[in-house]
Structure 1
Amino acid sequence: MIVLGLSSGTSADGIDVAAADLRLEGDLIRLAPLGHRTTPYSPGLRQAIRNALPPAATTMEAVCRIDTGVGQEFAEAARRAHEDFTGGRAALVASHGQTLFHWAEGSRIHGTLQLGQPAWIAEATGLPVVSDLRAADVAAGGQGAPLAALLDALLLSGRAEPAAALNLGGIANVTVVRDGSPPQAFDTGPANALMDAAVRRVTGGRADVDSGGALARSGTPDADLLEHLLAEPYYRLAPPKSTGLELFGPAHLDAALQKIRVPSDADLLSTLAELTAVTVADALRPFAVAEVVASGGGVHNPVLMERLAARLRPTRLLTSESLGLDGDAKEAYLFALLGFLTWHGLAGSVPTCTGARRAPVAGRLTPGTGPLRLPAPVTTAPRRLRVEAPGS
């Protein structure tokens, strides 16, 4: 079954779309990547999303406009991928949408909101759409995150030594896989979120990222600021736990800089890269993993990767490319996988990772232009995932 997966992360940079040919054989899922691209949001929609993100106030009109705009731009990205990557052979679309709010109070999650009306995607592609992929886990008492744990646990299964998958998006999340033990996963804290906020701060909004980590490399971590940031109580919460821009957004950085002497621009970026490295390494230390497999936008920041490698040592730091999966496309492939599982009546989260009471089937279905015909539910849950070349 060929499935299109669509997502947009907390940075709201654009739409990741990937096409995957997925086959289930016993407890093994075979995933053949067929193509991936990132399409930037239109400037107006991107600004509207950022204007509505916490801690900003917003209106129901703005929410409606964003929901429609994200749905329409996801729809166009899916339509093009359907033609370019699959030759019109895809059978299903799975859309994560754009997270606008994650309602967290301490370690408890009360709700989560992803926008991007799926009816636009169904209309543009003619295909059924699985969307709203986090809510069922939250209703079952879970965090609704990190959903990446499902793919990570399948991909890293069967290793002789404990291993962890690390995603460096706006927020950093890890999945720890140890033979003989249930997987564990949680958000460790910010990855790129505070660094990107700092870049916008020091450039007056002219830039969104520290390209190549150039500014961070020219600076030195500020000990006082780093100590203040590390005092955030979130880091000491026990997993499962999840977070977002509601906590680690621009306001978090602004509040710290009001209390601590503002360092130079270079030192500020260097400090925030060190913050991510320290908090990831500290979070993984109790698990004594032998290697960490990283993916996400943060792997393109060489300073961040160098600091992570230093803080994690002697644990080996790799990227997901070593396992055959493009790190920039991993989340889009994750949602293609989740859609595939939902279509076949299989659970879309790992309770030991999200904290849910049970593992629910994820999402809701929007019919395409034809009748909705679901296959008979599969009774054997997958335990392994193998990335293969198309046609193998």
Structure 2
Amino acid sequence: MGSVANTDPVLDLVVLGLSSGISVESIDCALCRFRQQNAAGPVSLELLKYGEALLDPEIKKRLMDMALHDFNVPEQVAEINAILGEAFATAGLEFIATNNIDKSTIDFISSHAQATWRIPHPITRQARTSISMNEGVVIAARTGITTVTDFRVGEVAVGQPGASLADFDALLLHHPTKLRACQNISGIGSVCFIPPDIDGELNDNFFSFDTGPGNIYIDAAIHHYTNGAQRYDIDGEIGKRGKVDEEIVDDFISSHPYFQRSIPKSAGRDDFRAVLAHELISKAEDKGLLPEDVVATITRITAQSIVDHYKCFAPSQNIDELFLCGGSAYNPNIVNFIQKNYPSTKIFTLDAAGIPAVAREAINLALRGMDAVVGRTVLTSHGAETRQEQIVGKVSPGDNYEQVMQKVMQFGKGEMLGPIRDLVNVVKGEVIPNKW
């Protein structure tokens, strides 16, 4: 473990993945170790530590206010970019200290930037682009650890929707005979459909897209009705007590333009702005709905949008297994609705596959950062406008930069490497096969 260079070409890297979703509630920290005997062999993934740090509410407020009102002010963009870099650096250092980790054993940090504004579907005289904020240079300067950030820009540059985690889902969950799906229910919902293997190998026809709001509006309603005392609907208890207003659900889904688009597509804060949550709350209250009814109704919007997208775009309605991840993977009001519509599908949380459901994005970011530093392209989702291979991510050197570069250059021999084709998940020293 660590950054001591050696002449053995075996890859052995320790990466700290830092992630914060669109809800901007917290920063997830996943310390991962990656090993690979040679560039064509399987990559071994081991989650060493996982933790979560709450984000300062004032930072969240500033980011949300900027997205709503002041995004066109360059000063705001520049300042929030630096502030988020400081916040992520602080979260990483606190995670390191709390878990008594020797900082010198971490080769680099891989961090997801906040997708502040995107144009994934440009119209006349627009350019496809994505602006993300979380300055990697600040993280590297504060921690002293080489840092990789800003993966979306590289993906968007070659026609990808940006920030897809489909390759991780496919590598982790592909099966010889089963159609599997991985549904993330964090701020924005997203799904990856993973068809059965071909000739015993990963089927490249996996594909992913965003299904609409995940828990962004549910959390907003909980925050509203508890005056900020509660961050989310714990175990779905509040929504469970309420009655769903089907008219509000149907009106929202039928009137929002995102649900009318075909795939490939991706969603962000620009599609599902925070103001829409308060409009939903006001509309429901005007109809006389109680707080628990409002939460139940908004929760159903998430569940209904997931099911509707499956019915439109799943490669088959015979989905063998569905793996849920993200903060609302444990919300029974969502899970039960999906199960009702797909009664023959076995539904698990991603924990069943050896990955904590809440840690999936931070782990994936660690993997994505490892690819960037080693010089490896990533697998792209089938159905995207292009499947051009691309190394994504921007590297900000830290104090250990030369040591890290020596290590990865010895492994890759200075050449661009092809995508990972086989990922081995190791938990407490044991391989989790996931081929049941």
Q: Tell me the residue number matched to 1:155.
A: 172
Q: Give CA deviations for 1:239-283 in whole Å, capped at 9, x if unaligned.
A: 111011212233234445677753332222111222221221222
Q: Tell me the residue number matched to 1:350.
A: 380
Distance 1:277 1:159, change over 3 A: farther
- TM-score, normalising length: structure 1: 0.91
Contact in 1 for aligned 2:253/2:259 (Cα 8 Å) = yes
User: How big is the shift at 1:167?
Assistant: 0.6
Alignment partners' CA distance in 1, 2:116 and 2:31:
25
Distance 1:371 1:220, change over 3 A: closer
Distance 1:133 1:353, change over 3 A: farther
Contact in 1 for aligned 2:258/2:271 (Cα 8 Å) = no
Which ranges in structure 1 are unaligned for 5 or more consecutive residues? none
For the pair 1:43 / 2:43, whether they are aligned, the reply is: no
Distance 1:342 1:371, change over 3 A: closer
User: How big is the shift at 1:105?
Assistant: 3.9
Distance 1:242 1:93, change over 3 A: same
Q: Tell me the residue number matched to 1:277.
A: 303
For the pair 1:248 / 2:278, whether they are aligned, the reply is: no
Distance 1:57 1:11, change over 3 A: same
Q: Tell me the residue number matched to 1:135.
A: 153
Alignment partners' CA distance in 1, 2:66 and 2:101:
35
Contact in 1 for aligned 2:326/2:360 (Cα 8 Å) = yes
User: How big is the shift at 1:205?
Assistant: 4.8
User: How big is the shift at 1:32?
Assistant: 0.5
Contact in 1 for aligned 2:117/2:270 (Cα 8 Å) = yes
Contact in 1 for aligned 2:323/2:350 (Cα 8 Å) = yes
Q: Tell me the residue number matched to 1:230.
A: 253
Counterpart of 1:359, as a letter, is E
Q: Give CA deviations for 1:302-352 in whole Å, capped at 9, x if unaligned.
A: 322222322332211101100100111111000000011111211235142
Counterpart of 2:359, as a letter, is A
Q: Tell me the residue number matched to 2:129.
A: 111
- TM-score, normalising length: structure 2: 0.83
Q: Give CA deviations for 1:172-208 in whole Å, capped at 9, x if unaligned.
A: 0000110245111000111101212223344455544
Alignment partners' CA distance in 2, 1:338 and 1:104:
21
Contact in 1 for aligned 2:193/2:208 (Cα 8 Å) = yes
Q: Tell me the residue number matched to 1:91.
A: 107
Task: Kindly report which structure 2 residues correspond to 1:318-357, keeping only aligned pairs within 5 A, or say none.
Answer: 318-352=348-382, 354-357=384-387
Larger radius of gyration: 2
Contact in 2 for aligned 1:191/1:298 (Cα 8 Å) = yes
For the pair 1:57 / 2:104, whether they are aligned, the reply is: no
Q: Tell me the residue number matched to 1:15.
A: 27
Alignment partners' CA distance in 2, 1:194 and 1:370:
41
Contact in 2 for aligned 1:144/1:354 (Cα 8 Å) = no
For the pair 1:196 / 2:210, whether they are aligned, the reply is: no
For the pair 1:381 / 2:431, whether they are aligned, the reply is: no
Tell me, what secondary structure is at the counterpart of 1:352? coil
Tell me, what secondary structure is at the counterpart of 2:17? strand
Alignment partners' CA distance in 2, 1:341 and 1:186:
22
Distance 1:380 1:359, change over 3 A: closer
Contact in 2 for aligned 1:34/1:86 (Cα 8 Å) = no
Alignment partners' CA distance in 2, 1:252 and 1:3:
37
Contact in 1 for aligned 2:322/2:348 (Cα 8 Å) = yes
Tell me, what secondary structure is at the counterpart of 2:329? helix
Tell me, what secondary structure is at the counterpart of 1:71? helix
Alignment partners' CA distance in 2, 1:86 and 1:352:
39
Alignment partners' CA distance in 2, 1:200 and 1:386:
39
Alignment partners' CA distance in 2, 1:344 and 1:279:
38
Alignment partners' CA distance in 2, 1:7 and 1:50:
17
For the pair 1:314 / 2:314, whether they are aligned, the reply is: no
Contact in 1 for aligned 2:377/2:417 (Cα 8 Å) = no
Alignment partners' CA distance in 2, 1:210 and 1:344:
41
Alignment partners' CA distance in 2, 1:126 and 1:257:
45
For the pair 1:101 / 2:117, whether they are aligned, the reply is: yes
Identity among equivalent positions (%) equals 25
Contact in 2 for aligned 1:6/1:97 (Cα 8 Å) = no
Alignment partners' CA distance in 2, 1:28 and 1:243:
32
Contact in 1 for aligned 2:70/2:76 (Cα 8 Å) = no
Which ranges in structure 2 are unaligned for 5 or more consecutive residues? 1-12, 431-436
Contact in 1 for aligned 2:241/2:292 (Cα 8 Å) = yes
What root-mean-square deviation, in Å, do the aligned CA atoms of Structure 1 and Structure 2 show? 2.4
Contact in 1 for aligned 2:377/2:418 (Cα 8 Å) = no
Distance 1:106 1:62, change over 3 A: closer
